[in-house]
Amino acid sequence: MGHNLLLSLRAVEALQLANVMKKIGQVLFRYRNLLGPVLFLIALALSQPDHPVVAPQFDVLFAVSGATIALLGQALRIVTIGYEYIVRGGKNKQVYANNLVEGGMFAHCRNPLYVGNLLMAIGLALIVHSYAFILIVIPAIFFTYACIVAAEEAYLLGKFGDAYASYMKRVNRWLPRLSGFSASTAGMRFNWKRVLIKEYNTTFTLIAAMLALHLWARYCADGEGSLPASSSVVGFAAVWIVLYLGVRALKKSGFVRE
């Protein structure tokens, strides 16, 4: 009797927690595109980068590991969008979906785009090796996405019912299942034009952020003498901006269509 009562109380507590997270997620969903940059700026203001664990020899390891993880996150986004794009960007700043997407990467993970974003955040935190990034930004982003996903799942269950419930049982919420990807994409064609249109901004911004944070970390830890020549930095920035504006012009002109 006591054991059953305890289980019932835990079930009620879990339901209450889910409802709270759903309500928080509905609010955070409206501002999800601003939360990442704001959190990063707060972290930069609270602490400057230093040598990781007071060991300069780990600088390169942290930078390479961070870049690898961040690029892996971007690659996951590219693969996801290239095979099956999900229209879940919201409507009137509220959670919205016009259909249930289960193909491509969504057959292996229910939230591959969010997982990609989390990997990019972890990668940037390693590159800048600031304790504020690790202790503030990463937990805050995890909490944000957990709440947003709670709100989205409640909406999708309400709209698609048993179809989404069955999908939830088959596919993990966060950890992608690696096997069977060729079967999931059989008969599908990778839409590189859609990737170009939808992801050019994220890709350009990520790589620029990686380089900027790496230079900032080096400057904070070792001073101006550790930085490359200013002409090299300005030259790269100029080329990067020109490339970005070129791709943006292709999109805006309609020359490249999805």
- Domain annotation covers residue 205: no
Which residues share a beta bridge with 60?
none
- Taking the C-alpha atoms of residue 96 and residue 246, their distance in angstroms, rounded to an integer, is 32
Chain segment 98-143, per-residue pLDDT in tens: 888 888 999 999 999 999 999 998 998 888 877 777 787 888 889 9
Q: How many domains does the chain have?
A: 1
Choose between 169 and 20: higher pLDDT. Answer: 169
Mean confidence (pLDDT) of the chain? 82
- Taking the C-alpha atoms of residue 169 and residue 213, their distance in angstroms, rounded to an integer, is 40
Amino acid in position 70: A
6: confidence class by pLDDT, cuts 50, 70, 90: very low
Q: What average pLDDT does range 225-233 have in this prediction?
A: 83
- Taking the C-alpha atoms of residue 74 and residue 207, their distance in angstroms, rounded to an integer, is 10
Q: Which residues contact 33 (CB under 8 A, 6 or more apart)?
A: none
- Domain annotation covers residue 211: no
Q: Which of 65-69, 141-145, 195-199, 226-230 has the lowest mean pLDDT?
A: 226-230
Whether 247 has a pLDDT exceeding 90, the answer reads no
- Domain annotation covers residue 50: yes
Amino acid in position 216: W
- Domain annotation covers residue 253: no
Task: Answer for the pair 247, 197: CB distance below 8 angstroms, yes or no.
Answer: no
Q: Which of 22-26, 47-51, 200-204 has the lowest mean pLDDT?
A: 47-51
DSSP string, 148-159: HHHHHHHHHHHH
| Helices and strands of the chain, counted as H and E runs | 10, 0
Q: Which residues contact 176 (CB under 8 A, 6 or more apart)?
A: 76, 105, 108, 109, 112, 115
- Domain annotation covers residue 245: no
Helix orientation angle between 138-160 and 32-46, rounded to the nearest 10 degrees: 170
Give the number of other CB atoms < 10 A from CB of residue 244: 16
Q: Which of 37-51, 68-82, 217-231 has the lowest mean pLDDT?
A: 37-51
CATH number, domain of 49, equals 1.20.120
- Domain annotation covers residue 12: no
- Domain annotation covers residue 198: no
Chain segment 147-194, per-residue pLDDT in tens: 999 999 999 999 999 999 999 999 999 999 988 888 888 888 999 888
Q: Of 122, 126, 138, 110, nearest to 74 (Cα)?
A: 122
Which residue range(s) make up the domain with 163?
21-189
95: confidence class by pLDDT, cuts 50, 70, 90: confident
- Taking the C-alpha atoms of residue 215 and residue 229, their distance in angstroms, rounded to an integer, is 11
Q: Which two tokens stand for residue 106?
A: 């969504």
Q: Which two tokens stand for residue 10?
A: 């835990």
**65: part of which helix (H) or strand (E)?**
helix 59-83
- Taking the C-alpha atoms of residue 69 and residue 126, their distance in angstroms, rounded to an integer, is 9
Compute CA distances 247 → 115, 199, 203, 244, whole Å.
26, 11, 11, 5
Chain segment 63-73, per-residue pLDDT in tens: 889 999 999 99
**Distance, CA of 125 to chain centre:** 13
